[in-house]
Chains A and B, each alone.
Chain A
Amino acid sequence: MSVFLSSLGFGLITAAVLAIATVGFTMQFAVTNVLNLAYGSVMINSAFVTYYLNLHAHLNAWVAMIGGVVTGSVASYLINRCIFTPFQRRNLPPITIVIVALGVDLCGTFGLQAIVGGSYFNYRQSPGRQWHFWGMYFSTLQLTIIGIAVVVLALVHWLLKYTRLGKAMRATSANMNLARNSGVRTQMVISTTWIISGALCGLAGTVFAMDTGVFDATSAQLYIVLLLSAMFLGGPGEPYGAMLGAVTIGVATEVSAGFINPQYKEVIAFVVLLGMLMFRPYGIFGKEKTL
């Protein structure tokens, strides 16, 4: 029982990071129909900016985090504006854009590695005091991460549900042509979505680095497995599904790690992903948009 509870605690932290990342990832898919496999490289670049601002430019950790968020936002906007959009204008099949995204990922990840080198970086914050709830242990840092996730997801909910922009995003995602014909400025909506989802991506990278403490330029490469599993579990392009998927995958991987070899903890995410692709490629509650 205690193994279960302590791993559940870990799971909630992993889920918090994953939820922020997956919501951004799925929003990009929702409005542009692009599986942005370069997402992980933007995450890790943002994490490095935060790291640098905090530990080398000696800025406050929160200010540094904003630097990371802005990096993710700007980088994502530029990637969409300068690469994905021009390619999509040529009416290429989705797979071509995915291959392009892989190319961008290589440039982002290894461009960073060329600059910072191949060694690991230590971004251990002071964990703060230990908190103890219902058999789960959290440090103040970990509670902060969970808190950030809750606040951010609440903001996303508010954005989607109660703002004109959110409504326009949902309309664009459901049917871009119809949205455009109904007076939605879809190009503007798409750009804004990439700015917002990029901010989530940057934030996710930063809290990912804070959570693991040690990272290098390629640390986010395996993260795409969790990201894709969480997204497909909730249904691609569904922000609420992404939140649910992230919590499920985050908790499931950590709880399973408590009972089997932690080195195989991604396996459960992998099994979920393949199962979803096999039986319900549009998510547990999802519906098919194409055809």
Chain B
Amino acid sequence: MSAIFFYLATVLVYGAVDAMACLALNVEFGFAGLSNFGFIIFQAVGAYVAAALSMGPWKSSNGGFQQYVFGWHLPFPFPWIGAALAGGLLALPFVFLVGKRLRGDFAAVGLLVSAVLLNQLVNNYVPLFNGAAGISIVPAPFQGFWNPQSLGYQFAYGGVAAVLSILTYFLLRRITESPYGRSLRAMRDNDIVADSLGKNLRVQRTSIMVLGGMIAGLSGAILVGFINLWAPGAWGYAETIVLFAAIIVGGAGNHKGAVLGAILVPLGFEEITRFIPPLSNPSLIPALQWVAIGLLIILFLWFRPNGILPERRRILSGGEVLAPAPATSNDDGEPLINLGNLDNMDFRSLLRLKGDAGEHDVILSTEGLSRSFHGVTVVSDVSIQIQRGRLTGLIGPNGAGKSTTLAMLAGTLAPSSGKIFYEGRDISSMPSHQRAQAGIVRTFQLASEFKKLTVLENLVCAIPHQSGDSFVGAARGRRHWGREDQENIERAKEMLDGFGLSQYADSYAGGLSGGQRRLVEIMRALLAEPKVLLLDEPMAGVHPNLAHKIGDQLTRLVESGMTIAMVEHELAIMDAFCDPVIVLAEGQVLAEGTMAELRAKAEVVEAYLVG
């Protein structure tokens, strides 16, 4: 009978360790979009450090038959603390892989290969890790006072492990269900856009990798204190794939899903195969286990890509039941959007505009700005000046370098040569998130909504200076940021109401029509409180009637002191709203002036007709 209890205690420990690992990996992968294919080495390092800290010096312990570092004989809980710190520190060398805009899958294979190689090194390098044999006789916590083989000890151990995994669950939920968590999910959905709205990708990714590494390290410490063994063979890179399978099965982006996945996949597979009688071919069962993991990944991603417990949609609007969108559309099939409230919207207070109308000094300018892509010059020696409180238009034929110029102004692209000045400061080498924080916000030509954020979340996440939008702020809890967040939500709702999209507040932005997504993008950029708003073809795909309504609002914004520069193909829009207009052709400034002046210039007309 007691064998069953011993078994249950073991299952409890393993379950808690797997749950912690899956929760941590889920925050990295499911929330922050970091595919940490090397996750298992964080757990392995934690386990090793906990073992090496709790054991005595290797030369004098057990006749010195195994080698390891530390050997400080530290009492509990110091080895576990050391393990968490080691897991967190291990994240730092990998920051360069995930910190910049490296393709997610490239960064992932870098981490995968790191895991493979580190395992290989540990297997072969005896002085540090005792080679492939690993370390045994790792002391259990409190083993001098309490017999680790007693049932009471084993259950107490399982209890502590379970409590730690529950604490992990609540800590991670506190982080992810905050404005910071919203920024993490925004980064997951589209990192370049999150960057352009002022999110520091490097800091966000680093903090999450350190946090995930710490939890992984602690989970490794719990495991090694229980099984009293550490061997590199148990930490192969494929173990990470098992954890990924768990998250895919349970549901990425859902903490409960991660726990469910941990119970079903790593724990479930391990425990079920215990009950299969040994076969003549000893590698058959483990081999089939791996095949099953592989199939599980493929089949789940195909048939149930969001897992058993999919990511929850966050209802921010306060839960009032909103009427479904009226299915009205005009003859062209473009849904009619009621912009009735827009004219009454007080942009100055809503967007906290400070500038005075009528000041037209130069706010943003370039000197000899150039950019080439593999030898082809796209923008060549462009010097332009954008005046405060004006709506400057940028026109030109396809390939004239308009979008490239805009991207360089916003910092999305680095110039090959030339300088950019903003309010008198040289910002040529300032990263784009800092420019956004300084007030230069751009929109994108292609759809750039955060697909798996609701419309309201898309808007709120752009608002700057949120006290909950940092790791520390999020950790301080809702009491710290809740009231302010509610105010931000109200602001976003007001904006949404003005643009007539209130009924979509809690819909995923990815499900909207093209024109509606455009509006979401414009609203989001406005809520980032720009001093200079750079719009890249904002009217593309928008019905002409609506385009004119938006144009009217842009004029109002400019009159309230905002500066706007807009790339646009539609000359009618330029005619109606933009002054001055800069004409680019073949990467160079061709002319500048009001539309009326430009129409009089033969070379401008020719460039357009020829282009």
Residues on A close to B: CB < 8 A?
Answer: 35, 37, 83, 86-87, 92-100, 102-107, 109-111, 113-114, 117-118, 217, 221-222, 224-225, 228-229, 232, 236, 261, 263-264, 266-267, 270, 273-274, 277-278, 281, 287-288, 290-291
Check if B357 is an interface residue, CB within 8 A of chain A.
Answer: no
Return B519 CB to nearest CB of chain A, in Å: 23
Bound CA span A99–B296, Å? 11
A35-B105, A277-B110, A281-B103 are contacts. A222–B291 as well, Cβ < 8 Å? no
A261 touches B288 (CB 8 A): no
Residue in B104, B238, B248, B291 whose beta carbon sits within 8 Å of that of A93 in the complex: B104
Return A262 CB to nearest CB of chain B, in Å: 10
Bound CA span A266–B116, Å? 10
A106-B293, A290-B103 given. 15 additional CB < 8 A pairs?
A: A87-B301, A92-B305, A93-B104, A94-B103, A94-B105, A96-B305, A99-B35, A110-B289, A114-B283, A224-B113, A270-B114, A277-B106, A277-B110, A287-B373, A288-B373
Return B96 CB to nearest CB of chain A, in Å: 5
Bound CA span A113–B107, Å? 29
Main secondary structure of the interface of B (DSSP, over half): helix
List 13 interface pairs A-B (beta carbons < 8 Å), by A numbering: A35-B105, A103-B295, A104-B298, A106-B238, A106-B291, A109-B290, A110-B286, A110-B291, A114-B288, A118-B282, A217-B287, A263-B124, A287-B374
Residue in A95, A97, A278 whose beta carbon sits within 8 Å of that of B97 in the complex: A278
CB nearest neighbor in B for A102: B241
Q: Which residues of B contact A86 (CB under 8 A)?
A: 302
Check if B108 is an interface residue, CB within 8 A of chain A.
Answer: yes
Check if B610 is an interface residue, CB within 8 A of chain A.
Answer: no
A114 touches B117 (CB 8 A): no
Residue in B107, B120, B290, B293 whose beta carbon sits within 8 Å of that of A277 in the complex: B107
Check if B297 is an interface residue, CB within 8 A of chain A.
Answer: yes
Bound CA span A225–B245, Å? 22
Q: Which residues of B contact A93 (CB under 8 A)?
A: 104
Q: Which residues of B contact A263 (CB under 8 A)?
A: 120, 124
Residue of B113, B241, B297 contacting most chain A CB atoms (<10 Å): B113
The 8 A CB mask of B272-313 against A (1 = contact, 0 = none) is 000000000111101111110111111001100100000000
A102-B241, A106-B241, A118-B283 are contacts. A35–B109 as well, Cβ < 8 Å? yes
A270 touches B113 (CB 8 A): yes
B116 touches A99 (CB 8 A): no
Residue in A83, A217, A281 whose beta carbon sits within 8 Å of that of B298 in the complex: A83
CB nearest neighbor in B for A33: B105
A106 touches B301 (CB 8 A): no
Q: Which residues of B contact A37 (CB under 8 A)?
A: 109, 112
Q: Which residues of A contact B284 (CB under 8 A)?
A: 114, 117
A222 touches B116 (CB 8 A): yes
Bound CA span A117–B108, Å? 30
A94-B105, A106-B241, A225-B117 are contacts. A274–B301 as well, Cβ < 8 Å? no
Return B216 CB to nearest CB of chain A, in Å: 19
B298 touches A98 (CB 8 A): no
A111 touches B109 (CB 8 A): no
Check if B576 is an interface residue, CB within 8 A of chain A.
Answer: no
Chain B interface size band reads 35 or more
CB nearest neighbor in B for A274: B110
Q: Which residues of A contact B112 (CB under 8 A)?
A: 37
Bound CA span A187–B451, Å? 29
B298 touches A278 (CB 8 A): no
Residue in B102, B110, B121 whose beta carbon sits within 8 Å of that of A273 in the complex: B110
Q: Which residues of B contact A100 (CB under 8 A)?
A: 297-298, 301
Check if B244 is an interface residue, CB within 8 A of chain A.
Answer: yes
B287 touches A107 (CB 8 A): no
Q: Which residues of A contact B96 (CB under 8 A)?
A: 278
Return A112 CB to nearest CB of chain B, in Å: 8
Residue of B37, B103, B245, B301 contacting most chain A CB atoms (<10 Å): B103
Q: Which residues of A contact B121 (CB under 8 A)?
A: 264, 267
B110 touches A103 (CB 8 A): no
Bound CA span A35–B112, Å? 13
CB nearest neighbor in A for B241: A102
Q: Which residues of A contact B109 (CB under 8 A)?
A: 35, 37, 98, 228
Bound CA span A96–B105, Å? 9
The 5 closest A-B pairs by CB, nearest first: A118-B283, A106-B294, A103-B297, A110-B290, A107-B294
Bound CA span A140–B311, Å? 60
Bound CA span A229–B114, Å? 12
Return A194 CB to nearest CB of chain B, in Å: 18
Q: Which residues of B contact A94 (CB under 8 A)?
A: 103-105
Return A230 CB to nearest CB of chain B, in Å: 12
Residue of B110, B114, B288, B374 contacting most chain A CB atoms (<10 Å): B110
B291 touches A111 (CB 8 A): yes
A35-B109, A110-B294 are contacts. A281–B117 as well, Cβ < 8 Å? no
Return A242 CB to nearest CB of chain B, in Å: 15
CB nearest neighbor in B for A225: B113
A99 touches B248 (CB 8 A): yes
The B107-154 residues at the A interface (CB cut-off 8 A) are: 107-110, 112-114, 116-117, 120-121, 124
Return A48 CB to nearest CB of chain B, in Å: 14
Residue in A98, A103, A225, A287 whose beta carbon sits within 8 Å of that of B294 in the complex: A103
Residue of B124, B192, B290, B295 contacting most chain A CB atoms (<10 Å): B290
